[in-house]
Amino acid sequence: MDQAVAKLNLSKLESELNTLNKKMTEPDFWKDAKKAQAISRRAGDLSRRLAPWQKLVSDFKTVQELLATKDLGLENELTKQLDGLDKQLSGLQSELKFQGPYDDHDAIISIYAGAGGTDAQDWAQMLLRMYVRWADSQHLTLKTIDQSVGEEAGIKSATIEVSGGDWLYGKLAGEHGVHRLVRLSPYNADHKRQTSFAKVGVLPLISQPDEVGLDQKDLKIDVFRASGKGGQSVNTTDSAVRVTHLPTAISVAIQTERSQLQNKETALSILRSKLVQLQLEQHAKNLAEIKGPSQSAEWGNQIRSYVLHPYKQVKDLRTDYETTNPEVVLDGKLEPLIEAWLDKK
């Protein structure tokens, strides 16, 4: 119990919550609405996070005090209570793996085929299927935001929203990076061994506008007609929307929703998510600069290899977790890989 409380840094979080609560009682608290909303949201998050731990610590101390009385009539009941508290502790300890500010958010997964033509596009579709199968096995809700189909097979890119579960961004953030496939190419007449790459991007879903402020003067919004091979139910009217954040040049185009307003709202939501990811990456870069030279360029940031020939293996290059059953992984059994990454980070 003491180790878990120390890892959580309970006293520090309680002190932060007390400070925030005092600020919220100040007469001019709502003078700066954006700042006030951020403080209120942080205080609410801390309260929800601390409440079960505070109750567990209190209950544990009560049982310990009663055990110290050495009342034989209470011993059996107190032993049962201790067992129950141990189970609660195990459940709460698993949440200690999720310390990021957006770990409790839903997630957006984007998959991009790398160089390699049809093989790479087929690999991108295999990865999309893997994440869809995983989400189905977890009884999660999936929504296709965008999809660009390959000329011969597979996909050039796809973006899906995953919701309806706990700690989804926290669990899926470890999938962010380059995934490598080695196999006998089904698209090569000589069936030669082919190496294909695909990039997976994972963003926290920022559905509440007040979480990330967007100044209208920083946005350029274009409306256009959807064209070419797209995803499901692509519009043929001028309802597709592209939103560009001028300070960062980040652009998001959406054409899958039924109306221009829906496309705009979806584009703004993804733009907020990308801005959050940019902040997180900048924070990680700052930490890396403090620690010293770190990883390579974006497409060089390979996190996992999947080998189907000449042998069978999936290996995560960050955790060294490996399995000789790639078919099971590609069918959506990602829990061991996710857990290994959570334990490592």
Give the chain's end-to-end CA distance (angstroms, integer): 22
User: In sequence order, what are the residues at sequence separation of 6 or more whose Cβ sits closer than 8 angstroms to the Cβ of residue 230?
Assistant: 146, 147, 148, 149, 255, 256
B/e letters for 303-326, b = 16+ CB within 10 Å, e = fewer, are bbbbbbeeeeebbbeebebbeeeb
Residue 102, domain member (yes or no): no
- In the numeric block, which tokens belong to residue 324? 């000789």
In a domain, residue 201? The reply is yes
> Is 100 part of any domain?
no
CATH at 230: 3.30.160.20
Q: Are residues 204 and 128 in the same domain?
A: yes
Residues 205 and 305 in one domain: yes
* Beta pairing class for 250-254 and 302-307: unpaired
Same domain, 197 and 305: yes
Domain total in the chain: 3
Domain coverage including residue 219:
211-290
Residue 285 CB neighbour total at 10 angstroms? 11
Residue type, 135: A
Residue 146 identity (one-letter amino acid): D
Where would I find the H helices in the chain? 2-8, 10-24, 33-68, 72-95, 117-137, 168-172, 260-291, 326-330, 335-344
User: Kind of pairing, strands 313-316 and 219-224?
Assistant: unpaired
Give the integer Cα–Cα distance in Å for 135 and 343. Answer: 21
Each of the 345 residues of the chain gets a pLDDT tens digit; together they read 666 666 667 888 899 999 999 999 999 999 988 788 878 878 888 898 889 889 998 998 998 888 888 887 888 888 888 888 888 887 777 777 887 888 988 999 999 999 878 999 999 999 999 999 999 999 999 999 999 999 899 999 999 999 999 899 999 999 999 999 999 999 987 878 999 999 999 999 987 766 777 888 999 999 988 765 544 444 555 688 999 999 989 999 988 877 888 899 889 999 999 988 888 877 677 656 654 544 444 566 799 999 999 999 999 999 999 999 999 999 999 999 999 999 887
Separation between Cα atoms, residue 141 and residue 168, nearest integer Å:
11
142: which strand partners? 162
